[in-house]
Amino acid sequence: MFESVPWLALGGERETPLPPTPVAVKPPRPSIGIALGGGAARGFAHIGVLKVLKEAGYELDAIAGTSIGAVVGGCFLAGKLQELEDWARGLNRRRMIGMLDFSLGGSGLICGNRLVQGLVRELGDMRIETLPVPFAAIATEIGPGHEIWLTRGPLVTAMRASMSLPGIFEPVRVNGRWLMDGALVNPVPVSAARALGARAVIAVNLNGELTGRGSVIPHFEVSVEPEHSQAQRRRGGVRALGAATALVRRQLGFGGRQAPRREPRSPGISSVMMEAFNVTQDRISRSRLAGDPPDASIAPRIGRIGPFDFQKAGEIIDRGAEAAMRALDEIKEAVEALA
C-alpha cells in the first residue's frame, strides 16, 4: 500500500538515484617502532628525537631501548618525558656528583640506589605490560652473555638493569640472573623493535657520528719505551684502586686543575674502561645494523660530547631534536614505502 521512494524530490517527483560520494580512505600505515641506542649522557638526545617525532604526528607502536635508551623510552611511554627533560636540563656537575653513591667494595664504583630512588618517585611501581605499546629494555646476562629482553615486570628494575655499565654501576639480579648494560650485546636494538611488531623501524644511533673507529692501521712499528715510563705505569697500577673514585670525579669534571706533565701519562682506569666500552659498542653496532638495517636512521651530532657530560644535557637534547628534524624526509619515505 505504501511504496518506499528513495531520493524523493521536494516536489514529489521521482529522480534518478545519485551515486554515493566517494570517501577518501587513507592507506593503512605500517606499524612504526623505534630503537633507542645506548651512550650514557649522550642518550639525552633521545628526548629531543621523541619530541620531534611526536610533534610531526608519528605514533610509535613499539619501543626498544638499550641502557639510557631504555630509560628515556620508558619515561616517554609512562608520560614522564617532560619531567625527565626538566630534570636533565637542570643538571650541573655538583648535582650529578651528589646523586652518585660510590661503593669501592662492590662489583661497581656506583651502587645506583639514588638514581633508582629518583625513578621510583616519578614512575612508582609501574609495570612494563601496562604501558600503552610494547616495550623492551635490553640487558646482558653476566656469565653466559645472553641478550635479555625485559618485556614484563617492574619498569624501573628493567631500566636499572639495562643501564648497568660494567665496572661503573653494580649489576642487577633479576630472577636468578645477574644483568648488566645491554649495549654489550645489542647497542641499537633494531631486532627487538621488529620482534615487538614494528614493520618500519627508526634507529637512533648515538655513536653514528664517531668516525675512524672501524679503520685498520697495518704495519705499525713497535718501539721500546724508556724504563722510567714503564716504572711509572707500574706505580700507577698499584695506586689505581685507591684512586678509583677520584678518576670518576675527574670524568665528571671535578678533578680540579692538574699540573702539566712533561711526559705523556697513561690513561686512567675509568678512561680505559669507557674507551674499551665505546670501541666494543661501536664494533657491535656496525655488525648488528649491517645484518638488520633500520628503515630510517637518526644520528645526532654529539661526537665531541663525552659519555659523562651530563651537565651538557640541554645541548644534547637540542642536538637530538635537530637530528630528528633532518631525518623527517627519510622517515616519511620509509613509512610510505611500507604502507
Which residues form the catalytic set? 67, 181
Residue given cell 620531534 in the structure block: 52
Q: How far apart are CA 16 and CA 235, in angstroms?
A: 100
Q: Please give the full DSSP string across 248-313, using - where no structure is assigned.
A: HHHHTT-S------SSPPPPPHHHHHHHHHHHHHHHHHHHHHHHS--SEEE--S-TTS-TT-GGGH
Q: Please give the full DSSP string across 120-138, using - where no structure is assigned.
A: HHHHTT-BGGGSSS-EEEE
Dihedral sign, Cα of residue 241, residue 243, residue 249, residue 250: negative
Taking alpha carbons only, the member of 283, 75, 295 closest to residue 194 is: 295
Taking alpha carbons only, the member of 289, 299, 295, 294 closest to residue 320 is: 299
